[in-house]
Amino acid sequence: MVCVRTRLLATTRDMLPSMPHVFEPAPSARSKCRGCGQAIQRDELRFGERLPNNFGSGEMTLWFHPLCAAYKLPQQLLEALSETASTLPDRAALENLAKRSAAHERARRIDGAERAPSGQAACRCCREIIAKGGWRIRVVYYEEGRFAPGGSVHLTCRRAYFEVDDLLDQVLRFSPALSPSDREELTQAFKEEQSDPTPKKSTP
């Protein structure tokens, strides 16, 4: 009986007209960005991804900073831009960034960087252990409005795994918990540690 009801709800949602994704000024500072986890300030422009409501009828809206959405939800952002007035602030920059993200699927999985708290986790790219205290880039997968942890990658494996090397701004964007000194060290590590050009075995 439960399965039948679930199928009926899913069918009903599929039959409803889909509302377009949206840009709007935040009416308060209560919403948090699903991409970086930080608050979206009152009157700050925010991007809303419209999805079917998995807990009932109708739809739900998930809020992001436009820049975070350009990195992590490029297709959805581009859809919204195509239906938005040309006067949208930073429109050209957002569109260019979203197109770049759309062309690099794995780069959309980046969820910031951190120092490995232990020496137990293996790199998704080379399968070698990430040493305790070493820099690693977190990986997440997005499905049905949720980001699920997907492991991490050596800083030096970034080109082999993400298939693009110009990632510093994106990695810093999703590392809000890093202290100023950590951010400086990470920036320096990006400059000093050259990606190994030798192809490595990589997990999809």
Query: Is 110 in the same domain as 94?
Result: no
- Does residue 147 have a pLDDT over 70? yes
Residue 204 within a domain: no
Q: How many domains are contained in the chain?
A: 2
Buried/exposed 109-145: b ≥16 CB within 10 Å, e otherwise:
bbbbbbebeeeeeebbbbeeebeeeebbbbbbebeee
Average pLDDT of every residue of the chain? 86
Query: Is 83 in the same domain as 122?
Result: no
pLDDT number for residue 53 = 78
- Does residue 46 have a pLDDT over 60? yes
Residue 23 within a domain: yes
pLDDT number for residue 8 = 34
pLDDT number for residue 13 = 40
- Closest to 139 measured CA to CA, from 117, 111, 162, 163: 111
- Does residue 150 have a pLDDT over 70? yes
9 confidence band (pLDDT: 50, 70, 90): very low
Higher pLDDT, residue 142 or 84: 142
For the stretch 121-131, pLDDT in tens is 999 999 999 99
Helix (H, G, I), strand (E, B) or coil at 177: coil
Query: Is 116 in the same domain as 147?
Result: yes
Provide the residue range defining the domain that includes 123. 106-192
Query: Is 63 in the same domain as 125?
Result: no
- Which two tokens mark 93? 């920059």
Query: Is 121 in the same domain as 181?
Result: yes
CATH number at residue 63: 3.30.1740.10
